[in-house]
Amino acid sequence: MSVHETPGRHMGFHLPSRRRAGTAQRPGETTTGTTATATAARAQVFAGLRIVTGFVFLWAFLDKTFGWGYATASGKGWADGGSPTKGFLSGVSAGPMESTFHSWAGAGWANWLFMLGLLGVGLALVSGIALRLAAVAGTALMAFMWIAEWPPAKHLADGSPSMSTNPLVDYHVLYAAVLIALAVASAGTTWGLGRTWARLPAVRDHAWLR
């Protein structure tokens, strides 16, 4: 029996078949994969920033409550009968609300609002829930603290230099910007309880709770 070879079978090159051409990787597939990787990396960066920022607020609450010897001296914490607002607000010496802050210093309602703000924002950020509420509350808190320190002032009430390094943007503004960015980016869905929180009936029906 003779074997008939197909002409051109042993040629030095082959034209791609229609089937092979159809299964070749398209440029869009690589782009999609890269985009997905970049999106995941961005979500993780925001999640990390969220947790770190939340720890800042939580640490401030704990130190002021128990007097761990950092910003609050040992034995002078809120739990020991100290006031978390008296020292700071009574020391305000510049800005349009100087006398107002002096009158608020050490007031019970001011202590509770300040401490609940630190605790609420810290827990929300670390857990990844209610980031919009945290952004509003945290921004308001940072705004009051910015006014209390009043960076635009070059001199304090006694005439001494204020040592302000920037009249507009200081760390309070940066914290507020971070809080808003985390809320806009829905940063609680990665490494947090944001998805579970968003599925709750009350939260699902009221977007401002997310």
pLDDT of 104-113, one tens digit each?
Answer: 999 999 999 9
Q: What is the mean pLDDT of the chain?
A: 89
What pTM value is reported for the model?
0.83
Mean of pLDDT values over 18-25: 45
pLDDT at 31: 67
pLDDT at 33: 79
The full DSSP string for the chain is ---PPPTTTT-S--PPPHHHHHHSPPHHHHHHHHHHHHHHHHHHHHHHHHHHHHHHHHHHHHHHHHT-SSSS-TT-SGGGT--TTHHHHHT--SSTTHHHHHHHTT-HHHHHHHHHHHHHHHHHHHHT--HHHHHHHHHHHHHHHHHHH-TT-SB-TTS-B---S-SS--HHHHHHHHHHHHHHTTGGGSSSSHHHHHTSHHHHH-GGG-
Mean of pLDDT values over 74-87: 96
pLDDT at 30: 58
Mean of pLDDT values over 107-130: 98
pLDDT of 157-194, one tens digit each?
Answer: 999 999 999 999 999 999 999 999 999 999 999 999 99
